[in-house]
Amino acid sequence: MDETTDGPPAHDRHVPVLLATSVELLVPALQEAGAIYVDATLGMGGHAAAVLRAAPQAQLVGIDRDPQALELARQRLDREGVGDRATLVHATYDEIRDVLAALDLPGAHAVMMDLGLSSFQIDTTDRGFSYAADAPLDMRMDTDSDGPTAADLLRELPEAEISRILHDLGDERFARRIARRIVEQRETAPLERSGELVALLDRAIPGASKASGGHPAKRTFQALRIAVNEELEILASALESALDCLHVDGRIVVESYHSGEDRLVKTAFARRTHSSAPPGLPVELDEHLPTFTPLVRGALKAADAERDTNSRAASVRLRALTRTRPARRGH
């Protein structure tokens, strides 16, 4: 086993958020023999294992861009006795349709997306995801990819683009100030390690602002991770693919942890749950009728008890739909 997958079992290292709620929402669509459950962000398999236990006739297609997480998930599913019903695929989750086609599957009966960063990725200190440990500034979820690292972005992007990333993807109030410091520092010593970035942020962010809102590096690290992995661009495409591939009566559950993610989910879901008829049309044609119905009202949040015991639950927003009609033209 690769040393980065050593350590406690997956179930001891990652606690899935809103697990019981997700299972309750997904399982009704997985009652038929051979029903296909796609976990598009498999991670360490916490949601997948629970769904397979609750839906004993379902088959899992698990997708993840992180090969190390896939290995941990494989171990977990085997240990919990459901690995024989699982097909795991190394891919990004906007490739759902391609993955299903390669497996000769016409669609899915349920889809789960648990967005953001897993505890495993934070705990794997050599990736540079965590501001609590010094490591190379990589932040790629798929270390086999040839895409730019966080260090590459900080070394090569213009100051204005660094500022935009920090502001738009991290809600960082001091984005311009931080970007200026980064550009000044890289003239003599480009940032290569997470510890160097944390030290720069400590100098750049005013002391009065460090007293609240969590660690001062949290927003910058989040923004860089999202940018490095093109998470919002991939999510927008993935949502459309997932919705398109669902059978009638199929269900989708998405958990997001960032305002930008949740806006994309809300927008994509709204398009499928509202009429597409042009304003003023006297008669609504079948092709204009919504094809999905919400399973929950708005976005669910975690209860206080879960928020107190699982830090990832603090910012979660869960949205869920069920397909009620076949796809209309264009969808």
Residue 234, pLDDT > 80, answer yes
Residue 215 pLDDT:
83
Name the segment(s) of the chain with CATH classification 3.40.50.150.
Answer: 3-120+231-323
Do the bridges between strand 108-114 and strand 86-90 make them parallel or antiparallel, or are there none, so unpaired? unpaired
Does 215 count as an annotated binding residue? no
Q: Which residue is it, tokens 């007293």? A: 211
Does 46 count as an annotated binding residue? yes
Residue 118 pLDDT:
63
Name the E strands within 257-315.
292-294
Does 298 count as an annotated binding residue? no
Name the segment(s) of the chain with CATH classification 1.10.150.170.
Answer: 143-228
Contact, 224 vs 150, CB < 8 A? Answer: yes
Residue 193, pLDDT > 60, answer yes
Residue 119, pLDDT > 70, answer no
The distance from CA 17 to its chain's CA centroid, rounded to whole angstroms, is 12
How many angstroms separate the CA atoms of 178 and 46, rounded?
Answer: 37
Contact, 235 vs 264, CB < 8 A? Answer: yes
Whole-number Cα distances in Å, 245 to 78, 111, 327: 27, 9, 9
Which of helix, strand or coil describes residue 102?
helix
Angle in degrees, CA 228, 230, 233, rounded to 5? 165
CA dihedral (222, 223, 227, 228) positive or negative = negative
Does 121 count as an annotated binding residue? yes
**What predicted TM-score, i.e. pTM, was given to this entire model?**
0.88
Provide the pLDDT confidence category of residue 207 given band limits of 50, 70 and 90: confident
Tokens in use for 36? 């296909």
User: SS3 helix, strand, coil % of the chain, rounded to 5?
Assistant: 50, 15, 35
Does 45 count as an annotated binding residue? yes
Does 114 count as an annotated binding residue? yes
What is the per-residue pLDDT across 51-91, written as a single tens digit (0 to 9) for each? 999 999 999 999 999 898 899 999 999 999 999 999 999 99
User: For the domain bounded by 3-120+231-323, which CATH number is listed?
Assistant: 3.40.50.150
The distance from CA 252 to its chain's CA centroid, rounded to whole angstroms, is 14
Contact, 300 vs 262, CB < 8 A? Answer: no
Element (H, E) at 60: strand 59-64
Provide the pLDDT confidence category of residue 226 given band limits of 50, 70 and 90: very high
Look at 305 and 118; give whichever has higher pLDDT: 305
Percentage of residues in the chain having pLDDT higher than 90: 74
How many angstroms separate the CA atoms of 178 and 185, rounded?
Answer: 11
Does 47 count as an annotated binding residue? yes
Tokens in use for 176? 């311009």
User: For the domain bounded by 143-228, which CATH number is listed?
Assistant: 1.10.150.170
Burial (0-12, 13-18, 19+ Cβ within 10 Å), 1: exposed
Tokens in use for 194? 């997470």
